[in-house]
Structure 1
Amino acid sequence: MASSSSSSVNYDWIPAIALNYGVRKKLALYLNPTNTVAADWTDIAEKMEFTYLEIKNYEKLENPTKKLLEDWQTGAGATVGKLLSILEQAERKDIISDLRSLIDEDCRIYEERQKELPVQVPEVDSRGQDRGITVNDGHMPEMFDAFICYCQSDFQFVHEMIRQLEQTEYNLKLCVFDRDVLPGTCVWTITSELIERRCKRMVVVISDDYLDSDACDFQTKFALSLCPGARTKRLIPVVYKPMKRPFPSILRFLTVCDYTRPCTQSWFWVRLAKALSQS
């Protein structure tokens, strides 16, 4: 579905992960109830080409629409435009009409963040290596085993991560923004350069404060916007303390490295180090 006359947003290129909690919650309110008159989540699941067994498993969940969207958005071609097209095919234009403004807002936020990249990437490609973007850049760009995505309030845990992974027999090389990136460079440009080209993996330190960070949100969604094979291989979520807020839905399809359980802490660093050491 291309942008309509009532909206300047081009839905066809915006990935479904751009849709935030408010839209997903309202979609669930519309689609979760079994409805003999209008299409519900089961009809949407069929049009998304989920199998009979998959749909039967979703029926056991309290919020099947939420899980359905989380699983569907990881596949190829899962765009906002495709989702709207599916809703139209299911004759649920009432949902589209009610949620249009919220969807447009999420899409515009995503577009604004992405627009930074095409303007700045040529600068990185043509001159970035000469002037350097990390403190140890020389004739060749500095490479890393992992880019660490974190918010400032979690920096103490990042220090512990450095100690456990860099200063031990694992001898890994981490890219920590506050330590390794030169000041005065464009945050969004450096993010794309480091995540896409210089770092084999990305570790996302999840916390309640992370959920409020625009920078963390952008970095995570940028990593997820890479091709499906790359993003599932590259991105590793880490939870190091209990959370009051729900775990971000866009990461639920990835295995989490959990430091909060005492019974697993003894092999936490070994497990994470092995994941980062893979070629």
Structure 2
Amino acid sequence: MACVDSKVDLETIPLIALNVNCRKKLGLYLNPRTTVASDWMAVAEVMGFSYLEIKNYEDTKNPTLRILEDWQARNEATVGKLLSILTEVERNDIVEDIRPLIDEDVRKYCAYQKKKAAEPPVQVPEVDSCVPRTPERCGITLEDDPEGAAELFDAFICYCQSDIEFVHEMIRELEQTDYNLKLCVFDRNVLPGSCVWTITSELIEKRCKRMVAVITDEYLESDACDFQTKFALSLCPGARSKRLIPVVYKSMKKPFPSILRFLTKCDYTRPCTQAWFWVRLAKALSLP
């Protein structure tokens, strides 16, 4: 399929290109359960979600939005594939109605990507003509030099306060050993007084090569962890850059987050792999 510009193949446009208005309209069509037309369940089934996953989505307020968020982490999640799925479940009415919205979103996405590609590469350390530089950019961690380069890390650690003891163990195993990795632990490295959301976004995107998410039942209830995880996933659609590494260190009562189910996790709860846990994690964080 092609958008307004016939040269653009929608099969190459990632699903992340669709903005909130388009997704909202899809929800208006697909969320209501009906016996005369395919709904979100039929779409989720064609996308490859399992029966149990689909049943869990029933309890969410907007199941269509949830399946789109989770599906876009897959390599095959493109705008063209979504339109093909809607056609397959015989919802051509939706395709016809939302196509103008899709074309506009794809046009904006392509224009942004073209502009981004045309921009000259940023030197390292970054050359900044703004004087003075804002505190959010040069004074957010303990080792930041206001007159020099920003402090960089091998990994940002996404965790809940209840799991801080495991984070301390992670510091001992990865920083204070021959691995010599540098971790960004919010409570240890970040200076107080700035907007949490702005700082975490800056650190995850620009300061840290990767992010380690410590997955526990408490993690699933944390708004901060949810934001950090989704932000990290948005930077690497389809997990192509291995940017996000899920870690499980204790048993969970709740199901593993569906948005991360396609990522290989580092599981400390399995006795057969505990001996290799820190070696595998350190190697993954040491990659370029």
Calculate the TM-score normalised by the size of structure 1.
0.64
Alpha-carbon distance change, 72 to 142 in structure 1, aligned in 2, over 3 angstroms: closer
Residue 186 of structure 1 and its aligned partner are, at CA, apart by 0.9
Residue number in structure 1 paired with 2:206: 197
Whether the aligned pair in 2 keeps the contact of 1:240 and 1:258 (CA below 8 Å) is: yes
**Percent of pairs with identical residues:** 65
Residue 231 of structure 1 and its aligned partner are, at CA, apart by 6.2
Alpha-carbon distance change, 150 to 84 in structure 1, aligned in 2, over 3 angstroms: farther
Unaligned runs of at least 5 residues, structure 2: 1-16, 58-66, 95-127
Alpha-carbon distance change, 212 to 276 in structure 1, aligned in 2, over 3 angstroms: same
Alpha-carbon distance change, 71 to 230 in structure 1, aligned in 2, over 3 angstroms: closer
Spell out the pairing of 1:91-110 with structure 2 (5 A cutoff).
none
1:12 pairs with 2:18: yes
SS of 2:256's partner is coil
Deviations 1:221-254 (A, max 9, x none): 1111114266651000000000000111110010
Deviations 1:186-207 (A, max 9, x none): 1111111111011001000000
1:253 pairs with 2:242: no
Calculate the TM-score normalised by the size of structure 2.
0.63
Alpha-carbon distance change, 163 to 14 in structure 1, aligned in 2, over 3 angstroms: farther
Question: Distance in 1 between the 2:43 and 2:137 partners?
Answer: 51
The match for 1:222 among 224, 231, 237 is 231
The match for 1:183 among 192, 196, 209 is 192
1:164 pairs with 2:173: yes
Letter in 1 for 2:157: I
Spell out the pairing of 1:75-154 with structure 2 (5 A cutoff).
75=75, 90=89, 126-128=133-135, 131-138=138-145, 139-154=148-163
Question: Distance in 2 between the 1:214 and 1:64 partners?
Answer: 22
Residue 211 of structure 1 and its aligned partner are, at CA, apart by 0.7
Whether the aligned pair in 2 keeps the contact of 1:225 and 1:231 (CA below 8 Å) is: no
Supply the RMSD in Å over aligned alpha carbons. 4.4
Question: Distance in 2 between the 1:152 and 1:249 partners?
Answer: 22
Letter in 2 for 1:183: P
Question: Distance in 1 between the 2:172 and 2:160 partners?
Answer: 18
Residue number in structure 2 paired with 1:213: 222
Residue number in structure 2 paired with 1:74: 74
Alpha-carbon distance change, 230 to 197 in structure 1, aligned in 2, over 3 angstroms: farther
Residue 158 of structure 1 and its aligned partner are, at CA, apart by 0.2
Residue 170 of structure 1 and its aligned partner are, at CA, apart by 0.4
Whether the aligned pair in 2 keeps the contact of 1:147 and 1:202 (CA below 8 Å) is: yes
Letter in 2 for 1:214: D
The match for 2:253 among 244, 248, 251 is 244
Letter in 1 for 2:172: R
SS of 1:233's partner is coil
Aligned length: 223
SS of 2:217's partner is coil
Question: Distance in 2 between the 1:147 and 1:85 partners?
Answer: 37
Residue number in structure 2 paired with 1:113: none
Whether the aligned pair in 1 keeps the contact of 2:174 and 2:180 (CA below 8 Å) is: yes
Alpha-carbon distance change, 143 to 230 in structure 1, aligned in 2, over 3 angstroms: farther
Residue number in structure 2 paired with 1:39: 38
Question: Distance in 2 between the 1:71 and 1:251 partners?
Answer: 10
Residue 163 of structure 1 and its aligned partner are, at CA, apart by 0.3
Greater helix share, 1 or 2?
1
Residue 65 of structure 1 and its aligned partner are, at CA, apart by 4.5
Question: Distance in 2 between the 1:237 and 1:250 partners?
Answer: 11
Alpha-carbon distance change, 14 to 77 in structure 1, aligned in 2, over 3 angstroms: farther
Alpha-carbon distance change, 265 to 90 in structure 1, aligned in 2, over 3 angstroms: same
Letter in 1 for 2:19: W
Letter in 2 for 1:74: R
Residue 126 of structure 1 and its aligned partner are, at CA, apart by 4.4
Residue 129 of structure 1 and its aligned partner are, at CA, apart by 6.8
